Amino acid sequence: GDIESPTAAADVAVIGGVIAAVVFVLICLLVVMVRYMYRHKGTYHTNEAKGTEFAESADAALKNDPTLQEAVDESKKEYFI
């Protein structure tokens, strides 16, 4: 009655191996995701000009920015808040 055939035992071993492999891959992905999130926590890069954080006003900061020297027109000023 309860005699297992060799093929049934092999099937159980294959299924167990597949489940173990899937669990291993999921654990590895979880470790990689946690490590990535920990290492990149709080990284926020801006494209603001260097040295403008000590300017008295927005006008002074724009006048001192070398990349915007020719782009700033005194008659047309726009401020974005």
Residues of the chain by 3-state class (helix, strand, coil), percent to 5:
60, 0, 40
Q: What residue spans define the domains of the chain?
A: 6-43+57-78
How long is the chain?
A: 81
The model's pLDDT over 11-32, given as tens digits with 9 standing for 90+, comes to 999 999 999 999 999 999 999 9
Q: Distance (Å, rounded) from C-alpha 79 to C-alpha 10?
A: 73
Say if pTM beats, i.e. exceeds, 0.75: no
The model's pLDDT over 25-53, given as tens digits with 9 standing for 90+, comes to 999 999 999 999 888 777 666 666 565 56
Whether 62 contacts 72, CB under 8 Å:
yes
Whether 68 contacts 62, CB under 8 Å:
yes
